[in-house]
């Protein structure tokens, strides 16, 4: 008997005049978990109550915008090509959030808002590095939950496989050239499990880290796994020198993270450890 993971038959549900997309629900659920866990951890580090929520009000929308912009820049043909539909660029519920853009703009806005609160003495802990460390595991859990949105959308799966946990993809969602295959690597599940593993490992090791190293560990560790997941994926993507652009990004950012992790570990004074 062949076992497999089925692709959900529905990716949305209608309630009266409203349409709720499961992709969006996964993103929202992840955000809620990240804020709850981040606030709990930040207060344990000596931070003030509600700081994480106050920062998140600005950082979360920035992260979504940054993620969408990165996706549009790296995959423009689907929206602005000869057969593209520009208005689809606003339909984020259909998928398409680039993690690198989300992290970059989200972190920048979080740094700006944290410093604003810091100047008014509302943070309790003055170090943004500690703030970022507090958030890192929750962000990993958020990414783990958010990846299930790709499952509901039947997207971003990997190469064909006959493994028992293969993901069954309906014919209408199979990419050109793969119509004869029915089960594929569930890269959404691989990445989700990797994020959970990294979060658990981070919380286990963080007592030996210096401020800032926890967040950098998250970035580097995630990139390591993402490189291999990118090598499995078969969705359309721009390539450079035979590798997908996101695979190159994973390698470059992982390399930078290793350098920053070592540098952060050499810091000794609180002032040096204050920022990432």
Residue 136 above 90 pLDDT?
Answer: yes
pLDDT digits (tens, 9 = 90+) for 203-253: 999 999 999 999 999 999 999 999 999 999 998 888 889 899 999 999 999
The DSSP annotation for 239-252 comes to EETTEEHHHHHHHH
pLDDT digits (tens, 9 = 90+) for 41-75: 999 999 999 999 999 999 999 999 999 998 888 77
Could you tell me the pLDDT band of residue 2, with boundaries at 50, 70 and 90?
low
Sheet containing 183-184: give its strands across.
5-6, 167-168, 183-184
What is the pLDDT, as a whole number, of residue 91?
A: 77
Which residue, chain included where needed, has tokens 């943004």? Answer: 128
Cβ distance 244 to 238 under 8 Å?
yes
Average pLDDT over residues 260-273: 73
- % of the chain at pLDDT higher than 90: 75
What is the pLDDT, as a whole number, of residue 67?
A: 92
**What span, in angstroms and rounded, lies between the C-alpha atoms of 274 and 263?**
13
SS3 93: helix
SS3 12: strand
Instruction: Pull the structure tokens for residue 241.
Output: 């020198």
Instruction: Pull the structure tokens for residue 235.
Output: 């969705």
What is the pLDDT, as a whole number, of residue 268?
A: 63
What is the pLDDT, as a whole number, of residue 96?
A: 76
Instruction: Pull the structure tokens for residue 237.
Output: 């993507």
What is the pLDDT, as a whole number, of residue 17?
A: 83
**What span, in angstroms and rounded, lies between the C-alpha atoms of 222 and 226?**
6
Residue 78 above 70 pLDDT?
Answer: yes
Cβ neighbour number for residue 50 with a 10 Å cutoff: 14
**What span, in angstroms and rounded, lies between the C-alpha atoms of 276 and 261?**
10
Q: How far is CA 183 from CA 151, 192, 225, 242, 244, in A?
A: 13, 19, 22, 25, 22
**What span, in angstroms and rounded, lies between the C-alpha atoms of 219 and 143?**
12
Residue 93 above 90 pLDDT?
Answer: no
Could you tell me the pLDDT band of residue 257, with boundaries at 50, 70 and 90?
very high
Residue 88 above 60 pLDDT?
Answer: yes
- % of the chain at pLDDT higher than 70: 95
What is the pLDDT, as a whole number, of residue 272?
A: 47
Query: What are the respective helix, strand and coil percentages of the chain, to the nearest 5?
Result: 60, 10, 30
HSE of 217, CA atoms in CB hemisphere, 13 A: 26
Cβ distance 276 to 135 under 8 Å?
no
User: Nearest to residue 61, comparing CAs of 20, 27, 18?
Assistant: 27
Which residue, chain included where needed, has tokens 């951890």? Answer: 41
Could you tell me the pLDDT band of residue 261, with boundaries at 50, 70 and 90?
very high
What is the pLDDT, as a whole number, of residue 216?
A: 97
Instruction: Pull the structure tokens for residue 42.
Output: 């930040």
Which range, of 22-26, 47-51, 97-101, averages the lowest pLDDT? 97-101
- 0.85 surpassed by pTM: yes
SS3 48: coil
Show the 3-state SS of 204-242: HHHHHCCCCHHHHHHHHHHHHHHHHHHHHECCCCCEECC
Could you tell me the pLDDT band of residue 275, with boundaries at 50, 70 and 90?
low
What is the pLDDT, as a whole number, of residue 191?
A: 97
What is the pLDDT, as a whole number, of residue 94?
A: 73
């Amino acid at each position: 008997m062949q076992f497999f993971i089925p692709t959900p038959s529905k990716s949305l549900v209608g309630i009266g005049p409203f349409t709720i997309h499961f992709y969006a629900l996964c993103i929202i659920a992840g955000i809620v978990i990240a804020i709850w866990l981040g606030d709990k951890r930040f207060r344990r580090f000596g931070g003030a109550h509600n700081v994480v929520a106050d920062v998140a009000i600005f950082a979360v929308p920035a992260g979504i915008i940054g993620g969408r912009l990165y996706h549009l820049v790296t995959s423009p043909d689907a929206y602005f090509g000869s057969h593209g539909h520009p208005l689809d660029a606003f339909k984020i519920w259909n998928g398409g959030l680039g993690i690198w853009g989300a992290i970059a703009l989200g972190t920048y806005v979080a740094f700006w808002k944290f410093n604003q609160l810091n100047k008014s003495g509302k943070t309790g802990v003055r170090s943004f590095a500690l703030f970022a460390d507090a958030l890192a595991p929750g962000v990993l859990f958020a990414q783990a939950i958010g990846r299930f949105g790709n499952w509901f959308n039947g997207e971003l799966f990997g190469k064909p496989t006959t493994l028992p946990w293969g993901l069954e993809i309906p014919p209408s969602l199979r990419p050109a050239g793969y119509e004869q295959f029915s089960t594929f690597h569930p890269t959404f599940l691989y990445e989700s499990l990797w994020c959970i593993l990294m979060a658990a490992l981070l919380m286990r090791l963080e007592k030996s880290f210096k401020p800032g190293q926890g967040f950098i560990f998250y970035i580097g560790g995630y990139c390591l796994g993402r490189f291999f997941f990118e090598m499995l994926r078969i969705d359309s993507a721009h390539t450079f020198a035979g590798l997908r652009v996101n695979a190159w990004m994973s390698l470059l950012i992982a390399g930078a993270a290793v350098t920053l992790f070592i540098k952060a570990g050499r810091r000794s004074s609180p002032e040096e450890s204050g920022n990432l």
